[in-house]
Amino acid sequence: MPGSESLKFMMREFTELIKNNLSKTEIMLFVVMTFAAWSVWIQAGAINKDGLLYLKQAFFFSEGKTSEALLLFPFPFYSYLIGSIYNHTGVSILWIAHGVNLLLFGVTTFFYLKTLRLIDNRSSVVFYGGIILLSFMPIMDDYVGMLVRDHGMWAGCIAATYFFLQAQETDNKKYYFFWNFSLLFAALFRPEALVFLLVMPFLEFYLQKNKSFKNLIVSFRFILAIFSLTLIFLVYSIVVMDLNIIPTVLQKILNTATLFNQSDVIATDKFWLSFLLNDYSKMILLGGLTFIFIYKWIAGLGVIHLSIFLFGLKNNFSFIAKYKLVIFSLAATSLFLVFLNLITVYVVSGRYFVMHWWWLLLIIALSFQYIDVSLNIKCIKLIRKLIYLMLLVLILNTVFDSKKINVERLAGDYLRNQDSSVIKSVDADRVLFYAGLPLDSIILSSSINVNEADILVIQSNSDIDVSSFNGFEEIERFIKNNKHISIMKRKL
């Protein structure tokens, strides 16, 4: 029918118009930042445990109490940055922190899109990269609004990736300086970035293997990398870091190396299973940790992004072969650091994978473009429609997400209605934050003697023995996911 064909033509034209506009870096950057700001806004008031620690440290810096600030956390640049801005503006310290994180996220997104444009000179790659990022919920829905140092590391490492690839393309000395500087910037937020400052020169050796080893050693790029490492080490060791932490970390790694020679770490009352665990307990533990590691990686990446990524692995795109080595090497290094952390301190969070995922998103975006533009197989139209539909659902989930209500927020809301002049908390600072107490009051609450308090707020991962707090009676208790919060009031 002529009318139907005309409508289809108009829809195609409209779709192409949108796609062409979203293929411009500045427009896609604006769209991503709008979504990121919205994600922060709908979580307004929420704060993660580490975030409150950084705000406390920033507050100490703003008050000129440097020694107290450094006692809270040994890597203070992020907090110092927030505290300095707060000291000069007087704006809410929470929103300053969110503003800093959004700015760093914007830098990360900008260089992420620039790197894609460098790898593939078609402007449409920006569109595919943006869609993949917008639909990646671990970043857009979970971590973009968290107050963590990671945003600075993301910005520095992705910028370094772009400058490193530019250096390989042009051999311009300024790009060698820029990628070193970017990693130094990343290390100010998280010292793990120093590992990439070691990895990149080795990548340089491999990529420039037509040059003699001697020429590479005396080259500007290698000397610059060594200088950067020395500089950042001196800054951390002299100004911030207790050097005693180095042998401690090395000892943990060495202990991990003897994993198979130890036993008696898993107990059971099952007779035959106890023999098995005695003989192979560490191997079972390592196997279990490996399974958790793989599960966390897959669950975080998600079905649709994982499928597109695996498709990209299967199809070796010759035009990005020289870039894939760099991207996968950095991604593998980041993944190794997460696994090392898991087997040494038994801690893993989806947040630890995000730096690794940023590099994978580059490959996923290129794979998505290949599927949508170049792939020609049976049922390809249906596959494309399904992919777009699933990605759209993920994007809309961020847009229409609701505030995440946790047990600390519930307890804080309850505490707002309590008339009290002095509040003391035990491991419950976030409850006081949600109750609307000023940051200085939250800091002081930890040093108040119990006998001086009108209300006690106790938080624990197990049952709380109220009877051990003489002179107080429990007026409310909140329990969720084995987290107990007891609010007690002084007896009259």
Q: Which stretch, 146-155, 450-459, 464-473, has highest mean pLDDT? A: 146-155
Q: Which stretch, 39-48, 110-119, 141-150, 368-377, has highest mean pLDDT? A: 110-119
CA dist list (Å): 264 to 42, 184, 259, 278, 283:
47, 43, 12, 5, 11
CA dist list (Å): 325 to 44, 52, 161, 197:
40, 39, 12, 16
* Helix axes of 321-345 and 354-373: crossing angle, nearest 10 degrees: 150
**Rg of the chain's alpha carbons, rounded to an integer?**
26
Residue 117 has pLDDT above 50, yes or no: yes
Strand partners, 473: 489
Segment 323-332 mean pLDDT: 91
> Which residue in this structure is represented by tokens 């002299």?
238
- The Cα 145–Cα 38 span in angstroms is 9
Residue 345 has pLDDT above 90, yes or no: no
Q: What is the DSSP string of 419-488?
A: --S-EEEES-HHHHHHTT--HHHHHHHTTS-GGG-SEEEEEESS---GGGSTTEEEEEEEEETTEEEEEE
Cβ neighbors of 48 (< 8 A, separation 6 or more) are: 146, 147, 148
Contact status, residue 143 vs residue 58, Cβ threshold 8 Å: no
Backbone angles phi, psi at 131, to 5 degrees: -65, -45
Residue 440 has pLDDT above 50, yes or no: yes
What is residue 489's DSSP assignment? E
- The Cα 168–Cα 203 span in angstroms is 10
- The Cα 121–Cα 193 span in angstroms is 29
Contact status, residue 176 vs residue 162, Cβ threshold 8 Å: no
Tokens standing for 423?
């509040």
* pLDDT of 317: 61
The mean of the pLDDT values for the chain is: 81
* pLDDT of 416: 82
Percentages (nearest 5) of helix, strand, coil residues in the chain? 75, 5, 20
Percent share of the chain, pLDDT over 90: 30
